[in-house]
Amino acid sequence: MSTLATPSSGASSNGNLLLGIMLITLAFFFAAVMSALSKAAAGVPALLLLFLQYGISFLVFLPALVKEGPGLMKTSQLGLQVFRSISGAVCQLLFFVSVKSISLMDATLLSNAAPLFIPLVVFIWFRKAVQPLVWVSLAIGLVGVILIIKPSAVMLRNPAALIALAAAVFSALALVSTNKLAETEPPMRILLYNFGIATVILIPVCIFAWKPPTGEEWLLLLGVGGFYALTQYLIILAYRQASAAEISPFNYTVVIFSGLLGWAFFGNVPDVVSVVGTLLICAGGILSIRAGHPEGHGHSIGNGHWRLFPQKV
């Protein structure tokens, strides 16, 4: 069994809900820091940022593979592993592109609107009907999205908000894929395939997109990769203490942290309409998580989602 595998999808017998909440909140604080660092690295091509994010994270988790041995990577779902990795990578890439042009909080919020798309993904993928309460949650979230993106002719000239929303669609695909994988695969295997596949795919792409970073940009890139990996690790620990149903609502603390960091470091001050839209998207997302199918439980920051079970490697 992987050393970081979670005991169950619900709270474990020796789980600690308060500790789980603290860990998931800290994880999303680090996720917000990672996002802020990616915005600060505005001069770095998004593809290069994505490559180093995944590459550094893969190196951070590589000791687990060395410790467990080659058997850790034995999988019967290689196709789904590839699909999950590509979906997550596209989500992250779209976020990196969008955050260069809009506020940190808006980019984070819209890319984290995955719970609003998950019921539709589950319906198409598994043919599971959308419950009436979930439709209500989607309507609430949709109103919030409209308030945030503020549809107008300006959007055609700067579609960054739509790009961030597209990231949420790929995040939803990644989340449902990961939860499907978690039925038979331990979390460390999913993580290593996720990081490894994306890194390998991005190598030839980044050769053409290569732009030598400055010393300051290297520090930002290392920070993005390090905080990304740390976020994943803390989320795994959090789900060892409590179930997705108990701590998933705390996923949206990333929006609060992003808003504070955006205000402190980038001077992004949301207007009243944006605040109302933020509250509606968060409310709709949380309601969708709580009322929806278990395939959609987990966290939603575009780079990994977990509904973990005890699995043997």
**SS3 per-residue string spanning the chain:** CCCCCCCCCCCCCCCCHHHHHHHHHHHHHHHHHHHHHHHHCCCCCHHHHHHHHHHHHHHHHHHHHHHHCHHHHCCCCHHHHHHHHHHHHHHHHHHHHHHCCCCHHHHHHHHCCHHHCHHHHHHHHHCCCCCHHHHHHHHHHHHHHHHHHCCCCHHHHCCHHHHHHHHHHHHHHHHHHHHHHCCCCCHHHHHHHHHHHHHHHHHHHHHHHCCCCCHHHHHHHHHHHHHHHHHHHHHHHHHHHCCHHHHHHHHHHHHHHHHHHHHHHHCCCCCHHHHHHHHHHHHHHHHHHHHCCHHHCCCCCCCCCCCCCCCCC
Range of the domain at 46: 17-296
- The answer to the question of residue 229 being in a domain is yes
pTM of the model: 0.86
Could you tell me if residue 42 is inside a domain? yes
Asked if residue 173 belongs to a domain, the reply is yes
Using an 8 Å Cβ cutoff, are 28 and 112 in contact?
A: no
Q: How many domains does the chain have?
A: 1
User: Residue 225 domain-assigned?
Assistant: yes
pLDDT at 287: 86
Site of tokens 């779902």: 77
- Residue 28 is assigned to a structural domain of this protein: yes
pLDDT 10s per residue in the chain (313 long)? Answer: 223 333 334 444 456 889 999 999 999 999 999 999 999 999 999 999 999 999 999 999 899 888 888 888 999 999 999 999 999 999 999 999 999 999 999 999 999 888 889 888 988 998 888 888 888 989 999 999 998 988 776 776 789 999 999 999 999 999 899 888 888 888 889 999 999 999 999 999 888 878 888 999 999 999 999 999 999 888 888 888 887 777 878 888 999 999 999 999 999 988 899 999 999 999 988 888 777 666 655 543 433 433 433 333 3
Whether 308 is covered by a domain: the verdict is: no
Residue 132 belongs to a domain? yes
In a domain, 303, yes or no: no
